């Protein structure tokens, strides 16, 4: 009986760990960002260590760094870039599902918008 209780407890703990694990978003993504000023299509590269993400955002104003988190399938990150001599930040929040993401973004001085992303397959 004690053995059955221990096995049951181990199974429940394993399931809890699997459910709570962050989605794997490591790699390159093709984003589409829609703001009232227009649409852009940056390439975003994520490097993931557990729930922490870092990486780069390559778009209209060059390459900029980003930092954020992934908790289960919830993705949040901030990209900071220099636009015509002014440093601005964009805050992205969204969800991951099956190599796709979508969410909302808010840029300082550029307003709010929506974004979608598709994982770029790794080259073999």
Residue 13 domain-assigned? no
Domain count, the chain: 1
Cβ(105)–Cβ(81) below 8 Å = no
Assigned domain for 34 exists: yes
Range of lowest pLDDT (24-28, 82-86, 100-104): 82-86
Q: Tell me: the pLDDT tens digits for 91-114? A: 999 999 999 999 999 998 778 999
Asked if the structure places residue 6 within a domain, the reply is no
pTM of the model: 0.82
Residue 12 lies in a domain: no
Question: Regarding beta strands 62-71 and 74-83, do their DSSP bridges make them parallel or antiparallel, or are they unpaired?
Answer: antiparallel
C-alpha dihedral, 119 to 96 to 107 to 46, nearest 10°? -50
**End-to-end C-alpha distance for the chain, whole angstroms:** 51
Is residue 109 domain-resident?
yes
Query: Which range marks the domain in which residue 52 is found?
Result: 22-119
Dihedral pair phi/psi, residue 14, rounded to 5°: -65, -45
Does the residue 75 lie in any domain?
Answer: yes
pLDDT category at 84 given cuts 50, 70, 90 is confident
CATH number of the domain bearing residue 51: 2.40.128.120
CA distance 32 to 14: 36
Any domain includes 103: yes
* 17 domain-assigned: no
| Residue 50 near residue 71 (C-beta atoms within 8 A) | no
- Average pLDDT on 71-85 reads 94
pLDDT-based confidence at 42, cuts 50/70/90? very high
């Amino acid at each position: 009986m004690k053995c059955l209780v221990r096995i049951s407890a181990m199974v429940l703990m394993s399931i809890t760990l699997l459910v709570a694990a962050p989605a794997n978003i490591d790699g390159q993504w093709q984003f589409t960002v829609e703001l009232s000023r227009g649409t852009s299509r940056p390439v975003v590269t994520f490097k993931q260590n557990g729930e922490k993400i870092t990486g780069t955002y390559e778009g209209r104003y060059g390459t900029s760094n980003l930092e954020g988190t992934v908790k289960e399938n919830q993705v949040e990150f901030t990209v900071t870039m220099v636009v015509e001599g002014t440093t601005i930040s964009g805050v992205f929040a969204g969800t991951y599902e099956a190599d796709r993401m979508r969410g909302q973004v808010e840029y300082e001085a550029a307003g709010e918008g929506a974004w979608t992303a598709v994982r770029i397959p790794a080259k073999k």
